[in-house]
Amino acid sequence: MPRPPQIRTKPLIGGALTRRTVLKAGGTLLLSVFAPLPAAAAQILAVRVWPAADYTRVTLENDSNLKATHFTVPDPERLVVDIEGLELNPTLKGLVAKIQSGDPYIKQVRVGQNRPNVVRLVFDLKEPIRPQVFALAPVGEYKHRLIFDLYPVKPVDPIAQMIEKGEWSRPGAPAGTPAPPALPPTAPEAAVLAARPEPKPEPRTAEIAKADPKPPAQASVARLITIAIDPGHGGEDPGAVGSRGTLEKDIVLAIAKRLKAKIEQQPNMRVMLTRDGDYFVPLGVRVEKARQVQADLFVSLHADAFIKPSARGSSVFVLSEKGASSTAARWLADKENLADAIGGINIKVRDQQLAGVLLDLSTTAQINDSLKLGKAVLSEIGGIARLHKSHVEHAGFAVLKAPDIPSILIETAFISNPEEEAKLRDNGYQDQIASAVMKGIKHYFARNPPLAKGRSS
């Protein structure tokens, strides 16, 4: 049997290839692979500024986790931030031009290389602020983010804010107090205006289906009804995005403003928006704002999305005590409840912000009243739009968990459906949706007039 051919190696130049030579070469290769390389500076990918009366947010999106230290300096007021592991680049320099003259808290910002690998930002302020500086891990479409939230030393009070805008008035207010224009009441509204407070504190509404109220010739408003309108998402959180680039946060804010104008035309109603601009509001803060103004109703506006573009139709949701009414409802609630993670909430203060919200104490009475409101609104929306489900659905949406306010969440349409996206972009359709919600609210109160509140309203 022939022997297999011998494999011979060619000698290296100047000598034979030995075992020692191979080991030396391998060691050199390993050293070259594992030798420490100079650390590359982080790269700023985008800068964004979200000014609002509540607070101004500055976001630096970057390719790695950044560490920052900060301090404030008085006379004049400044916020100084030092960011480690960073070299100045054109994107970061662009922050200077992002500051708007109408920003409530920032006059201007200066950006410079303070020392090697450390960039310093100096915010010149219009008033003393209470800063929160924190980092966010990648989520959704975002990479790492470094967040600067500039809050006023004295938090904005929703009622004081509405008084300043002339949006908060009450019966018997001094002459000259701004008030919404009064319109002649319809027959259902006359029943609301004629209703008088009842002594029972719970539930917050009472059935009057069996009553036959006879309003006086000149009905007077027992008290103003306060409605909280909650445009979903905002700021860092765009919500769902349509195929044409339509952002849910923009659509629902536009519809909310139309609904607000219609509510202000009612002689017995006033309204508060949880956000009136493009900025992020945590879910718990939205609920707390409604409770601060002692809202009689909470209506959260959204534009649905699904993985299949064929999904379509409007929906109305109320809180569930026992779980979601469908798999799709559970999926949607989980998605909407991610708003805090995407919008960017400071974990260190989250529990403090939610302390007064009592999210786990929602009552059966609140859910029952929410269901009545939801049915009234869904019936009106069904008159102008296709419904995704013909009944009110249940799911665990965080913004519906105020224990003492009937609350609904409206998915106005599927922004992921090209046909419905086109409708949502149309001013006329937005107005139709707002009108339908307004009619549903009026029908609800015609059957469930509000009771007296614990303190002056």
Local confidence pLDDT in tens for the 457 residues of the chain: 555 444 444 443 344 444 454 445 444 444 444 444 445 678 899 999 999 999 999 999 999 999 999 999 999 999 999 999 998 999 999 999 999 999 999 999 999 999 999 999 999 999 999 999 999 999 999 999 999 999 999 888 888 888 888 888 644 343 334 443 333 333 333 333 343 333 333 344 333 333 344 444 334 446 789 999 999 999 999 999 999 999 999 999 999 999 999 999 999 999 999 999 999 999 999 999 999 999 999 999 999 888 889 999 999 999 987 766 667 777 778 888 889 889 998 877 655 545 444 444 457 888 899 999 999 999 999 999 999 999 999 988 888 988 889 999 999 999 999 999 999 999 999 999 999 999 999 999 999 988 755 443 4
Distance CA 287, CA 398 (A): 9
Same domain, 142 and 189: no
Q: Of the residues 107, 136, 152, which one is the last residue of a structural domain?
A: 152
In a domain, 373, yes or no: yes
Position 53 in a domain: yes
Closest CA to 156 of 284, 301, 275: 275
The residue among 152, 174, 201 that closes a domain is 152
Query: How far apart (Å, rounded) are the C-alpha atoms in residues 131 and 70?
Result: 9
Q: Are 48 and 99 in contact (CB under 8 A)?
A: no
CA-based nearest residue to 191, from 167, 160, 165, 212: 212
Residues 310 and 441 in one domain: yes
The token duo for 49 is 């500024």
Place of tokens 């049997």: 1
Sheet holding 106-115, edge to edge: 68-73, 78-84, 118-125, 106-115
Co-location of 255 and 347 in the same domain: yes
Q: Exposed/middle/buried for 13, CB within 10 Å: 0-12, 13-18, 19+?
A: exposed
Same domain, 165 and 313: yes
pTM for the model: 0.77
> Would residue 27 count as lying in a domain?
no
Cα 374 to Cα 366: distance, rounded to the nearest angstrom: 12
Per the CB < 8 A criterion, the answer to whether 323 and 431 are in contact is: no
Number of domains in the chain: 2
**255 and 295 together in one domain:** yes
Q: How much is the CA Rg of the chain, to the nearest whole Å?
A: 29
Give me the domain span that covers residue 95.
44-152
- Indicate if 81 and 170 belong to the same structural domain: no
Residues 183 and 123 grouped into a single domain: no
Per the listing, tokens 């629902």 go with 252
Q: Is residue 165 part of a domain?
A: yes
How far apart are alpha carbons 146 and 64 in whole angstroms? 10
Residue 11 lies in a domain: no
320 residue type, one letter: S
